[in-house]
Amino acid sequence: MPFAPGGEGFLGHNRDFREERLAMLDRFAASPEPVVRMRLPIPGFQAFVVNSPDTVQELLVEKAKSFDKSDMLRFTLRHLAGEGLFTSNGELWKRQRRLMAPLFAPKALDKYAEAMIASSRRVAARWADGQTLSLLHETTTLTMSIAGKTLFDADTFGEADEIGRALTVALEWTAWSAGRPLAMSHLMGRRVLRGLAPRAPGWARKPLADVIDRLQGPIVLFGERGRALAEAIELLDARVQRMIDDRRAALARGEAKEDLLSRLLDARDEDDGATMSDRQVRDEILTLFVAGHETTATGLAWTIYSLCKNPEVYAAVQREVDALEHDATTKDLGRLELCARVFKEALRLYPPVYIVGRDAQEPVTLGGYEIPPYSQVAYSAWALHRSPYHWPDPLRFDPDRFLPEREAKRHRYAWVPFGAGPRVCIGNHFAIMEAQLALAYMLRRARFDLLGDEEPDPSAATLRPRHGVQVKVRLRDALRAKVA
Ligand code: HEM
């Protein structure tokens, strides 16, 4: 199998990944190879990248059973997301997905619209004409408020900044620790112990199993970053535990609520009727809270940034939202199809989850090449979405790529910001509806003038705009009054 482009020097692609991640992914985008091999400094550690829609389909859909979520991802998210839906594997994942899927099915989404609109209204109500804003801050406050309300009926709005800061610290630690030699040697150690486990004498099996379990995440957190992570997790744990305690008390008083938190607390195992531990509920809550707001906030900020950079598209979207006689509701989603397309095009150019990894659990082939067990396989939505082999004029912002007739001609797995197959994002319809409603509300209320250019920052766990998209807000009522 050919090596991936780049990866010169002793540390190979490990250095590229840490020091020039997006430039490395641009080189992958320019490569016609469907699968490439990374050069890595640790003997015995093998990693591959699938680099075409066909091989992504093999990895995520056709051969999904041969792969688990990557140990590296689980390691970096251990403190934040534990064994939640995003990071868990096997039977636990299957059970939890079955339990949560109905809450995210398209027909269940209508009931979330009200919270999406109410939160948009509250965020926009704070804007003053002529004010300078970080759009990323606004979209984060917005999606955090929506996630809190729709998933847990909790009013996180007032706490947004404190919780937001703690999540940012935790997510930055995740991005920082991924691929570090310390994390890699940690996982290598775990793999060696797993290999030894079946041959260990009876008395040693339990302690060995405990050590293997502990090694799934960092054992100690050192340095300033480690201390900051520990503090952030402590704050998040306290908040979530309070939410769980309050809800248990409300359920005991017979005050039922139809949200995800009640459903998690109510859930019974099909076999033994056991309820979920507080720890499992906590992992699911933090997983959904993070996965449910961070990605959409980033995607929305990039969408408005892209509109500002493409005035003709901005004008067309403005006409679409102005054609509504009132603030958007779910009944108007069909009339907000350009809002959906600009969001999808922004997710193409700036996919918030831009690298996704798996670990092979058995020998398997991808693109005709043999992949040994225990090796890591990843795909990058950034590289795939910018590939000139699958997207004409790939760097141009063109929402017409998502017109149904053009989508029909494209490979189904050329656009994968939400992943694909059994582990596809459970919140993908939720996110698109949220984006349509929020965009419609924000663009009806205000006009945004960009104050500077942006670049993607790969140092956070999602691909945030480095400067937060600084804009000047012009309230449209004020503009209209001026013209009159
Ligand atoms: C623009 C917004 C979003 C993007 C780009 C996004 C992206 C992704 C991707 C790429 C995956 C698959 C990762 C993999 O295969 O390893 C995923 C999984 C997941 N997402 Fe999203 N997501 C978004 C919004 C949401 C929302 C709104 C929620 C919840 C309300 C959510 C919850 C989840 C969960 C729980 C998983 C794990 C699913 C599983 O493994 O069964 N996401 N997301």
Distances (CA, A) of 209 to 5, 62, 122, 188: 39, 32, 50, 16
Per-residue pLDDT at 156 = 64
The fold for domain 13-483 equals: Cytochrome p450 (1.10.630)
**C-alpha–C-alpha distance, residues 358 and 361, integer Å:** 9
The atom of ligand 1 lying closest to the CA of 431 is 27
The atom of ligand 1 lying closest to the CA of 287 is 35
Span from the CA of 12 to the centroid of ligand 1 (angstroms):
30
Span from the CA of 451 to the centroid of ligand 1 (angstroms):
31
Position 4 pLDDT exceeds 70: yes
442 CB less than 6 Å from ligand 1?
no
86 CB less than 6 Å from ligand 1?
yes
Give residue 31's identity as a one-letter amino acid code. Answer: S
The atom of ligand 1 lying closest to the CA of 299 is 1
Tens of pLDDT, residue by residue over 37-58, are 999 877 778 899 999 999 999 9
Question: What is the domain partition of the chain in residue ranges?
Answer: 13-483
Which structure tokens are listed for 41? Answer: 């400094």
The atom of ligand 1 lying closest to the CA of 434 is 27
Q: Per-residue pLDDT averaged across 166-188, rounded?
A: 81
Structure-derived torsion over alpha carbons of residues 376, 380, 384, 387, reported in degrees to the nearest 10: -100
Give the residue, by CA position, lying nearest to ligand 1 atom 23. Answer: 295
Q: Per-residue pLDDT averaged across 247-253, rounded?
A: 87
Torsion region of 326: left, alpha or beta (phi above 0 gives left; psi -120 to 50 gives alpha): beta
Position 195 pLDDT exceeds 90: no
Position 196 pLDDT exceeds 90: no
379 CB less than 6 Å from ligand 1?
no
Give the residue, by CA position, lying nearest to ligand 1 atom 29. Answer: 292
14 CB less than 6 Å from ligand 1?
no
Find the farthest-apart pair of alpha carbons in the chain and give their distance in angstroms, rounded: 86
